[in-house]
Copies of this chain bind each other. A is one copy, B any other.
Amino acid sequence: MADRSRRPDLAAMIAPLLRELIAAEEPVLAAHGISMWGYVVLVALDGSSVRTQAALAAAIGADKTRIIRDLDELQERGLIERTPDPDDRRVRLLAITDAGRALKNAVQDEIQRGEEHWLSELSADERKTFLRALGRLSAGDRRRAARGRNGDTT
């Protein structure tokens, strides 16, 4: 018999929720002709001080080899710029363009409007505490992850 005193594993509660959130994002991304990784890249470049491709890969938890196609495409569409670093010509400095930021903001607005659908199941207090707690746990992630890397994001 199942033990009612057990709570579900955190991962088991979160995984299906994430699956639905991603499924809801896909049509929005498709409508704007951008991939999930492409969107993640734009968000990372807009919000942080990430400059090099290696730092970007680390920041978004991707392998440095698997974001190159996305960077190529984003650059071809004029959504990001890749300029050689004069101080170290191995490095290519990344920057989001105005067009890239506009696209990212449009996509993000739509996605967050869709997420209200989920958050509306919570009371105002629950919502506030939930988002804060989630941010805390997520921030813990970043702190732990940062320790394993070189600590700098440029």
Contact = CB atoms under 8 A, between A and B. Distances in A.
A95 B21 CA distance: 32
Contacts of A137: 17, 118, 121-122
B61 A17 contact: no
A7 B8 CA distance: 28
B18 A18 contact: yes
Given A12-B43, A125-B129, 10 more contacts: A3-B105, A10-B21, A10-B118, A13-B134, A13-B138, A16-B138, A19-B61, A130-B130, A130-B133, A130-B134
Interface of A: 2-3, 6-22, 25, 40, 43, 46-47, 61, 105, 108, 111-112, 115, 118-119, 121-122, 125-127, 129-138, 140-142, 144-145
22 contacts: A3-B105, A6-B108, A6-B112, A7-B131, A9-B115, A10-B134, A12-B40, A14-B21, A14-B134, A16-B61, A16-B138, A16-B145, A17-B134, A17-B138, A20-B141, A118-B140, A125-B129, A126-B132, A126-B133, A129-B130, A130-B130, A130-B133
